[in-house]
């Protein structure tokens, strides 16, 4: 399958220049059809369409695909409904009452908030948000903060605003020297970076559906290392927190012996099946090919942007396919409005006064050329 001919699967590409996967990744049309018709069938048919076997199949299917995506066993995958939910479920299950929690002052709020909230609750917990320097956080500054008092590091694999790729392996190695956990939010990485969570040596790796995985809203999942889930008791529990969920035993909690122990409730099954299909779709193309493609577009974009006078590129060299920039003396929102009003509108994001462009598998070299043309016109 050619990466340059996906407009049938992503019809939005026929009407506009969509460069916003870091916000929302469009879902392949076949997955939209499959997922919505599954949801509609359940809505119409109740248990006539959703048997217990089918319900198991949805979760098993997502754990299987999760295992292939993360590079781990399906037993090490837990299904959630969002990244924020997964981060909280894992973080609170650490049941910490003292120690230092580390993150950065440029992270997406869902990454820092569980740590900040835990520190509000327990007097013995402190937080250290390592400061960004020119919008980036040097790995050395994070490593320097990790000491014997550190209990956990909360960090993204790829930072949402600038696309900085954090050196997760180095952070994990240092954290493990002092017995601290590394909990990684990979929603801005999974879908284009070939993952090997074991190599990264992390304790938990969480991702959500609706960005680079091109899946419907409302689902997520996490790799949790066996060492971690063997140690933890989930703080939130529900009927699915059982080795045999269909026994419905209200007298005792028989925790599953795998990462599944973090799952607790029913959810939107059609959406979860949609995520299964989208991951299959991406893996069928090849995550490594998608990485190559996305980074090629990113490279052209950086090169061309660098030649436009007044453009200040924020994104550093170690980055994913996210390019963030501003234009001297210009309001980024005004630039965005002008780009949205081009004959072929460009769709991207403005965050904290910066313009963020995030091409993905459905974009082409022509899309980047059109964006550059548009920026030249506007400037």
- Which lies closer to ligand PLP via its Cβ, residue 150 or residue 160? 160
- Which lies closer to ligand PLP via its Cβ, residue 83 or residue 297? 83
The span of 183-191, 276-284, 341-349, 368-376 binding ligand PLP (CB under 6 A) equals 183-191
Residues 136-165 that bind ligand PLP (CB under 6 A): 156, 160
Distance of CA 367 to the CA centre of its chain: 24
Q: How many binding residues for ligand PLP (CB under 6 A)? A: 12
Residue-wise burial string across 343-357, b where 16 or more C-beta atoms lie within 10 A, e elsewhere:
eeebbbbbeeebbbb
Q: Minimal distance in Å, beta carbon 329 to ligand PLP?
A: 29
Q: CB–CB of 346/20 below 8 Å?
A: no
- Which lies closer to ligand PLP via its Cβ, residue 28 or residue 220? 220
Q: For residue 70, which of 187, 163, 155, 159 has the smallest C-alpha distance? A: 187
Give the count of beta carbons closer than 10 Å to the beta carbon of residue 259.
29
Q: Minimal distance in Å, beta carbon 160 to ligand PLP?
A: 3
Which of 92, 108, 113, 291 binds ligand PLP (CB under 6 A)? It is 108
Q: Minimal distance in Å, beta carbon 290 to ligand PLP?
A: 19
Give the count of beta carbons closer than 10 Å to the beta carbon of residue 104.
24
Which of 74, 220, 320, 359 binds ligand PLP (CB under 6 A)? It is 220
Give the count of beta carbons closer than 10 Å to the beta carbon of residue 105.
11
CA pair distance 286, 283, nearest whole angstrom: 5
Q: Does 185 bind ligand PLP (CB under 6 A)?
A: yes
Here's the x/- map for ligand PLP, 72-91, by CB under 6 A: it reads as ----------xxx-------
Q: CB–CB of 65/220 below 8 Å?
A: no
- Which lies closer to ligand PLP via its Cβ, residue 23 or residue 201? 23
CA pair distance 55, 53, nearest whole angstrom: 5
Which of 88, 110, 172, 324 binds ligand PLP (CB under 6 A)? It is 110
Task: Report residue 224: phi and psi, to 5°.
Answer: -125, 130
Q: Minimal distance in Å, beta carbon 376 to ligand PLP?
A: 29
Q: In what order do the strands lie in the sheet with 98-104?
A: 77-80, 220-224, 204-208, 181-185, 150-156, 98-104, 124-130
The span of 182-190, 290-298, 322-330, 351-359 binding ligand PLP (CB under 6 A) equals 182-190
- Which lies closer to ligand PLP via its Cβ, residue 156 or residue 241? 156
By the criterion CB under 6 A, which residues form the site for ligand PLP? 82-84, 108, 110, 156, 160, 185, 187-188, 208, 220
């Amino acid at each position: 399958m050619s990466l340059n001919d996906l407009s049938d699967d992503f019809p939005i590409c026929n009407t506009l220049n969509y460069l916003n996967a870091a916000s929302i990744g469009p879902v392949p049309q076949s997955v939209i059809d499959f997922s919505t018709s599954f949801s509609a069938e359940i809505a119409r048919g109740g248990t006539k369409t959703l048997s217990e076997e089918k319900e198991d199949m949805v979760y098993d299917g997502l754990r299987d695909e999760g295992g292939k995506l993360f590079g781990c066993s399906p037993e090490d995958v837990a299904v959630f409904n969002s990244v924020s939910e997964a981060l909280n479920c894992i973080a609170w299950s650490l049941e910490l009452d003292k120690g230092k929690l580390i993150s950065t002052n440029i992270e997406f709020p869902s990454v820092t908030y569980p740590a900040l909230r835990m520190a509000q609750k327990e007097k013995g917990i402190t937080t250290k948000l390592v400061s960004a320097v020119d919008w980036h956080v040097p790995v050395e500054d994070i490593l320097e903060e990790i000491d014997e008092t550190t209990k956990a590091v909360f960090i993204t694999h790829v930072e949402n605003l600038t696309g900085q790729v954090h050196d997760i392996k180095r952070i994990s190695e240092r954290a493990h020297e002092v017995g601290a956990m590394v909990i990684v939010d990979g929603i801005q990485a999974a879908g284009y970076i070939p993952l090997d969570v074991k190599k990264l040596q992390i304790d938990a790796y969480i991702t959500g559906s609706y960005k680079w995985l091109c899946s419907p809203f409302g689902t997520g999942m996490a790799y949790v290392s066996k060492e971690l889930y063997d140690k933890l008791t989930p703080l939130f529990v529900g009927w699915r927190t059982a080795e045999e969920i269909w026994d419905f035993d209200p007298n005792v909690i028989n925790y599953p012996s795998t990462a599944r122990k973090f799952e607790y409730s029913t959810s939107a099954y059609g959406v979860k099946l949609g995520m299964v299909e989208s991951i299959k779709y991406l893996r069928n193309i090849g995550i490594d090919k998608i990485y190559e493609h996305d980074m090629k577009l990113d490279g052209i974009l950086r090169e061309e942007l660098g030649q436009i006078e007044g453009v200040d590129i924020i994104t550093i060299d170690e980055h994913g396919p996210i390019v963030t920039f501003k234009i001297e003396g210009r309001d980024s929102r005004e630039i965005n409005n002008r780009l949205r009003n081009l004959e072929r509108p460009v769709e991207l994001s403005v965050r904290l006064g910066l313009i963020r462009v995030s091409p993905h598998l459905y974009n082409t070299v022509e899309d980047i050329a059109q964006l550059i043309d548009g920026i030249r016109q506007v400037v």
